[in-house]
Amino acid sequence: MSTIVIYKTKYGGTRKYAEWISEELNCDIVDAKKITIDDILKYDTIIYGGGLYAEIINGVHMLTKNMDKLKDKKIAVFTTGLTPPDCREYYDKMVIEKNFKEGLPQNVKVFNYLGKMVVEELSLVHRTALKTLKKIMQGKENPSDMEKLLIELCDADGDFCDKEAIGELLDYVR
Ligand SMILES: Cc1cc2nc3c(=O)[nH]c(=O)nc-3n(C[C@H](O)[C@H](O)[C@H](O)COP(=O)(O)O)c2cc1C
Same domain flag for 10 and 90: yes
Name the residue at shortest CA distance from atom 29 of ligand 1. Answer: 53
Question: Which atom of ligand 1 lies nearest, measured to the CA of 117?
Answer: 19
Output the pTM of the full model: 0.97
Cβ of 122 less than 6 Å from ligand 1: yes
Same domain flag for 27 and 104: yes
Number of domains composing the chain: 2
Same domain flag for 163 and 103: yes
Same domain flag for 103 and 152: no
Question: Which atom of ligand 1 lies nearest, measured to the CA of 123?
Answer: 31
Same domain flag for 129 and 84: no
Q: Assign 3-class secondary structure to the chain.
A: CCEEEEEECCCCHHHHHHHHHHHHHCCEEEEHHHCCHHHHCCCCEEEEEEEEECCEECCCHHHHCCCCCCCCCEEEEEEEECCCCCCHHHHHHHHHHHHCCCCCCCCEEEEEEECEECHHHCCHHHHHHHHHHHHHHHCCCCCCHHHHHHHHHCCCCEECCCHHHHHHHHHHHC
Same domain flag for 110 and 134: no
Give mean pLDDT in consecutive 10-residue pieces for the chain, a chain of 174 residues: 96 98 98 97 98 97 97 98 95 97 96 97 96 92 90 95 98 96
Q: Which domain holds residue 126?
A: 119-156
> How far is ligand 1, taken at its centre, from the CA of residue 18, in Å?
16
Same domain flag for 149 and 163: no
Same domain flag for 91 and 144: no
